[in-house]
Amino acid sequence: MYHKLEEPILLYLLLLIPILIGLFLFQVYWKKKKQNEFGDLGLIKQLSPTKSRFKPVLKFTTLLLALTGLIFALVNPKIGTKIETVKRQGIDIVFALDISKSMLAEDIAPNRLEKSKQLISQIISSLGNDRIGIVGYAGSAYPVLPMTTDYSIAKMYLQNMNTNMLSSQGTALNDAINLATTYFDAVDTSKLIILISDGEDHGDGAEEASELAKEKGIKILTIGVGTEVGGNIPIRGDNNVIAEYKKDRNGEVVITKLNSEILQNIAKSTKATYIDGNNTKQVLEKTKNVLDNIEKTEFDSQEIAEYQTQFQWFVGIAFFLLLLDVFFLERKTSWLQKLNLFNEK
């Protein structure tokens, strides 16, 4: 039998128990003190002969047990009945996302960066047991998320990516590829980099980096986002309103265009595929085809299966005790009084 707690932090609520016991004892002490001030204790007992000394303690104990039951219900203990060995097959994938300022161009709605995020998110949703990591890059590369199988966390990190994450601007594809290759720690797993960019490379060495990745058995699938006609790079001011467009040193408005050639060369050098990112359906279909044709690595992992929640038992006990407490009156019970179990005569 295996146990775990869903919300163990709520166990701290049990600290209320000794606090309530302390308050109860103080109340008993204070009441007894006031009774002594009022008059003779024997006379007071004669004035209320049916009042039980034990019943208030019983009622308080019942309420404490009910509170304890409700706290354990909130913690939600779970019991697992068996261990299963689960076999999973998958590959290691690193998403390298271009977060340079040119990705703010709106020649692809809503803009290149948001379109890229949508593509990555949908690709992640189509995955099974693959491990994934995320790299962001502009003038340099930045590790965003290490390898994980937690897709919800990956999507959260993905949505938080923006063009302000890196101060150095440009598009250093070589840095992105070199950093992505360091994510692959297992020797015998199939490895894939999915690189998303508009292809405006302002650095050198992209071909050398892709050749090095090829030597390590890493394929690089590239996705080009943007149009060959291009678009301007908006600079937004207050309330996210476009204040102006980025200009070059000569004061001319910059037009950024998709450079698919360099992305095609990177993919070709690793015997992978280049995909036009403007058509979401096409991206998902071609990516799925690439993933289906990559040999999957088999992993063994043991995990406790079939956990069953137990909170309902604690809720039931707590409400039963609360109901019972309603019938506990502070006066003596006649048939118990005859038995004198609590020496109250």
**pLDDT tens-digit profile of 234-267?**
988 777 778 788 888 888 998 999 999 999 999 9
Average pLDDT in the 283-302 region? 82
Query: 184-221, pLDDT tens digit by residue?
Result: 976 678 899 999 999 886 667 888 999 999 999 999 99
Domain boundaries, the chain: 2-76+310-339, 87-300
Q: What percentage of the chain exceeds 70 in pLDDT?
A: 81
- Asked if 200 and 86 touch (Cβ cutoff 8 Å), the reply is no
Residue type, 176: A
Round to whole Å and give the CA distance between 49 and 192.
Answer: 85
Confidence of residue 1 (pLDDT cuts 50, 70, 90): low
Per-residue pLDDT at 282: 93
Task: State phi, psi for 186 to the nearest 5 degrees.
Answer: -85, 135
- The number of helix segments (H) and strand segments (E) in the chain equals 11, 13
pLDDT at 273 over 70: yes
- Asked if 176 and 141 touch (Cβ cutoff 8 Å), the reply is yes
pLDDT at 333 over 60: no
Q: 3-class DSSP state for residue 160?
A: coil
Per-residue pLDDT at 339: 52
Token pair for 296 = 């999957």
Per-residue pLDDT at 55: 73
Residue with the two structure tokens 């869903």: 6
Per-residue pLDDT at 211: 92
Q: Choose between 46 and 121: higher pLDDT.
A: 121
Describe the chain by its helix, strand, coil percentages, rounded to 5. 45, 25, 30
87-300 homologous superfamily: von Willebrand factor, type A domain (3.40.50.410)
Among 66-70, 78-82, 156-160, 272-276, which is the least confidently predicted range? Answer: 78-82
Helices (H), 97-159: 112-125, 151-159
Q: Choose between 181 and 83: higher pLDDT.
A: 181
Among 23-32, 218-227, 332-341, which is the least confidently predicted range? Answer: 332-341
Per-residue pLDDT at 310: 81
Query: 100-139, pLDDT tens digit by residue?
Result: 999 999 999 999 999 999 999 999 999 988 899 999 999 8
Per-residue pLDDT at 50: 55
Per-residue pLDDT at 336: 47
Confidence of residue 95 (pLDDT cuts 50, 70, 90): very high
Among 47-51, 103-107, 303-307, which is the least confidently predicted range? Answer: 47-51
pLDDT at 335 over 50: no
Bridge partners (DSSP) of residue 77 are: 5
Cβ of 2: how many Cβ atoms within 10 Å? 13
Q: Choose between 232 and 344: higher pLDDT.
A: 232
Cα 195-208-196 angle, rounded to 5 deg = 10
Confidence of residue 85 (pLDDT cuts 50, 70, 90): low
In terms of Cα–Cα distance, which of 180, 217, 201, 202 is closest to 265? 201
Q: State the pTM of this model.
A: 0.63
- Asked if 120 and 196 touch (Cβ cutoff 8 Å), the reply is yes
Round to whole Å and give the CA distance between 167 and 321.
Answer: 62
Per-residue pLDDT at 167: 74
Q: 3-class DSSP state for residue 35?
A: helix
